[in-house]
Amino acid sequence: MSDSSKILDGRKVANEIKDEIATEVEQLKSRNGKVPHLAAILVGDDGASHTYVNNKIKACKRVGFEYTLLNFPGTISESKLMTEIDRINNDEDIDGLIVQLPLPDHISAAKVTEKILPEKDVDGFTNQNYGRITSKNPGLMPATPYGMVELLKRYKVEIKGAHCVMVGNSRTVGAPMSTIMAYHEFATVTVCHIHTKDLANHTKQADILIVAAGKPELITADMIKDGAVVVDVGITRIDADNEKGYELKGDVKFDEVSQKAKLITPVPGGVGPMTIASLLLNTLKAYKNRIAAI
């Protein structure tokens, strides 16, 4: 097991951020009479999705946000869901909206995402928010990349000028993270994925290695250089002979990679809590933007 001094502790940092937000929310409430309001839409009865949404609701309660949870059956039509999103878009009392993914097969996640107003898109998934990453006036940042950057900064990791290797090019994590690191943090970025030839040749050059490939334990100790900072975004449920019947694995083989890394995120407890903290930060920003526009 890794030395605790090497751990990029997402839970600890997320709790610090929540405390900071809670203090600010009290000040905003006394000044404006209202607090940020987050709405969450959950479709169907997927157990993992329920857990994720419940964690987000708990976070809202902790920081003093108002929240609305809309839970629809998996049989809801795409058009009906779009109508519900329109209703929230038009509700001036709601600052942020998340639609928990995945959605049932008969509903287009892409259409649903684009239906959300960019100014309420606290997941940062809309094309407008994604595209604005490359500008000097970004909108609401994609939550998981935003959280990873904040985690690195709070551990005083030197990003500017560092060689960042991103393994994974997904629309929700890999692509926006590599863009943020290059355009906003001035890292030198190499983007790889599971189809990259001789992947280890690239990962061994990384000062900061970020892995979001969705392949458990893809990265082993011989694939990193000594002293690298390793951020593991992957989380996969693997069958196991224990009380739960499963265990969670990241995309990095933690026990051996942690011996060579300078800093490393655990799974769970690394990136996940920071994503929720980022959702709260985005909701707070959306609230401030709304108040400023009144």
Q: Which of 95, 100, 115, 120 is catalytic?
A: 100
Active site residue 249: no
The Cα 106–Cα 124 span in angstroms is 23
The Cα 230–Cα 209 span in angstroms is 5
Active site residue 100: yes
Q: Other CB atoms closer than 10 Å to residue 187's CB: what's the count?
A: 23
Q: Which of 95, 123, 232, 251 is catalytic?
A: 123
Question: Is the CB of residue 166 less than 8 Å from the CB of residue 181?
Answer: yes
The Cα 41–Cα 59 span in angstroms is 16
Active site residue 244: no
Q: Which of 18, 56, 115, 249 is catalytic?
A: 56
The Cα 53–Cα 28 span in angstroms is 25
Q: How is residue 271 written in tokens?
A: 């990136």
Give the DSSP per-residue string, 89-122.
HT-TT--EEEEPSP--TTS-HHHHHHHS-GGGBT
Q: Other CB atoms closer than 10 Å to residue 24's CB: what's the count?
A: 15
Kindly tell me the sign of the dihedral angle through the C-alpha atoms of 102, 108, 111, 112.
Answer: negative
Half-sphere exposure of 290 (CA within 13 A, CB side): 25
Angle at the Cα of 61 (from 96 to 11), degrees rounded to 5?
A: 90
Question: Is the CB of residue 234 less than 8 Å from the CB of residue 199?
Answer: no
**Phi-psi label, residue 68: left if phi above 0, alpha if psi -120 to 50, beta otherwise:** beta
Residues known to be catalytic: 56, 100, 123
